[in-house]
Amino acid sequence: MSTATITVQQRSTWSGLADTIESEWTKLWSVRSSWLNILGGVVLTGLLGIQFGFSTAYDNTHPAPGEVAEKAAVGGVGVSAVVVVQVVVAAFAMLPVTSEYATGSIRSTLQWTPVRRNVVLGKAAVLAPVLFAYGLLLGVIAAVAGGLAMGEWADWDFVTLMVDLVSIAAYLTLAGLFTAGIAFLIRSTAGTLTAAFLLLLVVPMMLAQSSLRAFIWLAALLPGGAGQKFLSGATDPLSPTAGFFILLLWAAGGLFAGLKILQRRDA
């Protein structure tokens, strides 16, 4: 008498990750909050670009005694706008995480994706290119709006503009991934947005204004401060390259910490 043997073929980890990425992509674009966030970011960026452009034109047409008016790179308007708009982008990046904890759908996500590492990697894999494209879009809008508002004072040098746009997109991508990582730690929308607002904007800005050298260094080592060094090209106390790699470490560290918490805590 023969015995029937049933072979169960398990799916590979990479196959499971691919399915997770596809699922996360669908979830990201199937909710209105993602589209409303982008709409809000576009409108805010356009308004900021116009404001910064008119301000630059006014300053150049009303120079202080001894000052010489010069054209301004239109990409610089995008860099200035990022200081404010980054909070909107951070909100976009955290919603795929915090919204699931708020609605309880994180339980279903973990049931469908039992390998919890894939949950974090899947969300990061979807967010990274989307955030980069989002950053490029906002940079272009700010540059065009600001350049048109500046009029004759706008410098449309193509190479400089491309460098500024890629820098803006890279910064917003890393800042967004950092926010997504800490969202797994904090879980709540309000708490995550507050932490991102403090670490990306408020605390670095306050510390950078200090007369104490130690505080200036601390500001440069925070994610927002490191990112500003990268965007502005300032070399004190860190170079733009060093600022980029520090921000990269913050993004990787945030995702790693989020993964460890997700693996240890129940949903």
> Lowest mean pLDDT: which of 10-19, 206-215, 230-239?
10-19
Domains contained in the chain, number: 1
- Per residue in 125-155, pLDDT tens? 999 999 999 999 999 999 999 999 999 999 9
The answer to whether the CB of 256 falls within 8 A of the CB of 246 is no
Region for 132 from its dihedrals, namely left if φ exceeds 0, alpha if ψ lies in -120 to 50, beta otherwise: alpha
Whether residue 148 lies inside any domain: the answer is yes
Q: How many CA atoms lie within 13 A of 247 on its CB side?
A: 32
> Is 5 among the domain residues?
no
Residue 178 lies in a domain: yes
Q: For residue 38, give its domain range.
A: 13-264
Q: pLDDT, tens digit, for every residue of 79-91?
A: 999 999 999 999 9
CA distance 38 to 41: 5
Residue 70 lies in a domain: yes
pTM (predicted TM-score): 0.91
Task: Give tens-digit pLDDT for 39-65.
Answer: 999 999 999 999 999 999 998 888 888
Token duo for residue 62: 């009303």
β-strand 72-73 against 154-155: which pairing, if any? parallel
